[in-house]
Amino acid sequence: MDLSLINSLRASPVTPGAHIIDGGRRAASDAEVMQVLSPLDGQPLTTMPRGTREDADAAALSARTAFDDGRWRDMPPAGRKKVLLRWADLIEANAAELAVLGVRNNGTEIAMALKAEPMSAAGTIRYYAEAIDKLTGEITATGPANLGLVHREPVGVVGAIVPWNFPLMIGAWKLGPALAAGCSVVLKPAETASLTLIRLAELALEAGLPAGVLNVVTGEGAVVGDAIAHSMLVDVLVFTGSGATGRRLMQAAAASNLKRVYLELGGKSPNIVFADAPDLDEAAKTSVNGIFRNAGQVCIAGSRLLVQREIHDDFVARLADHLASLKTGDPLDPSTGAGAVNSLRQLEQNLSFVDEARAAGRTIVTGGTRILEETGGYYMAPTIVTGVQPQDRLAQAEVFGPVLAVLPFDTEEDAVRIANGTDYGLAAAVWTTDLSRAHRMVRRLQAGIVHVNTYGGSDMTVPLGGVKQSGNGHDKSLHAFDKYLDLKTAWFKL
């Protein structure tokens, strides 16, 4: 992106956020606003509504009414496809604005933000738009006296709660298949990254999405998210975020209408490097990017690095060499490789993990401190910690920051035991030239996605989901439709 354009957008005032309910902006009173602080400098960026339960209820009623009267659900598939494709075109046309706004709101480096946020969202919406008219039912083999038909129908109203690290990308993973299936949606963005999703909903209306089909309510999770989770008008709840919040959402579903709940709860993903990795230097470079891009704020981040003992010291040195060339700082500088931490609270949590590791006698190879404090922003030096033991909190709990725990292993059995020795199971990686070992590891690792001789980069054609306490259900791919479609059997006697 052109630097002059970035600087122009950086200096632009940001319109105060608003709820999008029943096709229009609903602003808050002065007493009901939340101040939005930019992680780039810690300064106020704008305001947005501090949503109430009444706001959430209004949005749910709007979505329910829109679904029940069929304004979107009953639109022919070709019609829904046209609207979604227009929406994708508008997202792409406004990509620069969306990317810079997102960086100012959540701190992702601009080079990653442009590709991973608006461009990814546009691609996701197109993917599901193109799938709409390929969703067909089934005819069962019942014999000459009967006819069985299996219909696929939209589930109804979807409550979607998305995180702050990649709001457009993850939001589109929910919105694309839900809207393509014919559902209506109530979307709650994270308090610290709502602005781009408000704009996304405005573009959807501009593209022709009927009023009430997509509603956005901003505010605190304990209020707005809780109201959506308890709503008797919401049929399905989808969420990406912390395990603690996921548990509360399941409890709310059980206490209300037993709505189905699909959760993606993060991970402590093992990145396993065997001595026979095809290219140790490439493995080191990819491992650095796999944990430190977006300041480590990536669900599938390779936050545990398991290195075979015979190459451990050499590989750590290679990591440090590659990390030295990764620039941390202003996310709106195109040369920056690792941007800001999303909030002061998150930064302090990250540093507490390092302090605990240091106190336990672990070695801080690089980083471990707050940097660029004079800017007022929330920046942390990328941190490599060695000597980490499998039982350490740093090896068990999700930091969600630029902190890499390095653990040695001796044998394949050791690697599997250590890798599977957490409550999580979202992602993993294996670096080896032994094809048989690669297949064994893919089968034995408890993870929803296993990379082989790479880390990250999978596209929309494959699902993303976790096992164990990393959640259930899948985003991405055609399998995502499973969350948003019901099966209905019609049985005819002929």
* Residue 282 falls in the annotated catalytic set: no
Tell me if residue 147 falls in helix, strand or coil: strand
Catalytic one of 117, 202, 264, 398: 264
Tell me if residue 467 falls in helix, strand or coil: coil
Q: How far is CA 377 from CA 36, 105, 307, 333, in A?
A: 13, 12, 34, 14
Which two three-digit tokens encode residue 32? 């009901």
Tell me if residue 409 falls in helix, strand or coil: strand
How many Cα atoms sit within 13 Å of 444 on the Cβ side? Answer: 18
Scanning 325-392, the segments in alpha helix (DSSP H) are: 344-359
Which two three-digit tokens encode residue 412? 């394949």
453 Rama sector, left if φ>0, alpha if ψ -120 to 50, beta otherwise: left
State the Cα–Cα distance between residues 205 and 212, nearest whole angstrom: 10
Scanning 182-337, the segments in alpha helix (DSSP H) are: 195-207, 226-230, 243-255, 280-292, 312-324
Is residue 356 within 8 Å of residue 393, measured between CB atoms? yes
137: Cβ contacts below 8 Å, ≥ 6 apart: 149, 150, 151, 152
User: What long-range pairs does 55-58 form, CB within 8 A, spacing at least 24?
Assistant: 55/19, 55/21, 55/26, 55/217, 55/219, 55/224, 56/186, 56/188, 56/217, 56/219, 56/223, 56/224, 56/227, 56/228, 56/231, 57/227, 57/231, 58/21, 58/22
11: Cβ contacts below 8 Å, ≥ 6 apart: none
Catalytic residues: 264
